[in-house]
Amino acid sequence: MNKKLASILAALALIAGLGLSSAYAVDNMSSTDAPDLTSVRAKIKAKDYAGALAQLRELADDVQHADVYNLLGFTLRKTGDFKTSLTYYTKAIEMAPEHKAAREYLGELYVETGNMEKAKEQLAVLAKLCPGGCEEREDLQKAINAKSASN
């Protein structure tokens, strides 16, 4: 375990011991150890999945971060590698269970592979994470509706 993670866990244990609670969801916390993913996101937006994948794999060799794993899952899904995509979405969610983008993209993977029950499970998690609505929840709902309408 790296020193930064150990210190965060120690701080959380201290907060728990004091009876205090954190008011921030995991996805709302600012992370100082998050890698700069600007160029990766630009490649994904330009549909340069091969370029994004190469950069993400290099990052994943050095950095274990939910955002990196989530984008790896997204890029692999877009290239049709659903099995490996699932692996990376799972890693992202294991690291950050409240990662809304990973939940949305995992749900979209399930929609694309025809597993509507699992897609709806991710939608239910998003409904709990953002009861007032959020882009991730809306996008997954649209994907589910579109698939249902086409069947």
Residue 140 has pLDDT above 50, yes or no: yes
Interval 33-65: pLDDT, tens: 678 999 999 999 999 999 999 999 999 999 999
Kindly provide the residue ranges of all beta strands, DSSP E only, lying in the chain, ordered along the sequence.
Answer: none
Comparing CA positions, the residue from 94, 100, 97 lying closest to residue 130 is 100
Angstrom distance (rounded) from CA 128 to CA 50: 34
Angle of the 38-45 helix axis to the 66-78 helix axis, nearest 10: 20
Share of the chain above pLDDT 90, in %: 74
Helix (H) or strand (E) holding 101: helix 100-112
> How much is the pTM?
0.77
Contact 144, 116 (CB under 8 A): yes
Tokens for 145, please give them.
């509706």
More confident residue, 50 or 31: 50
Q: Which CATH architecture has domain 36-96?
A: Alpha Horseshoe (1.25)
Confidence of residue 32 (pLDDT cuts 50, 70, 90): low
Interval 91-109: pLDDT, tens: 999 999 999 999 999 999 9
Domains of the chain: which residue ranges?
36-96, 99-151
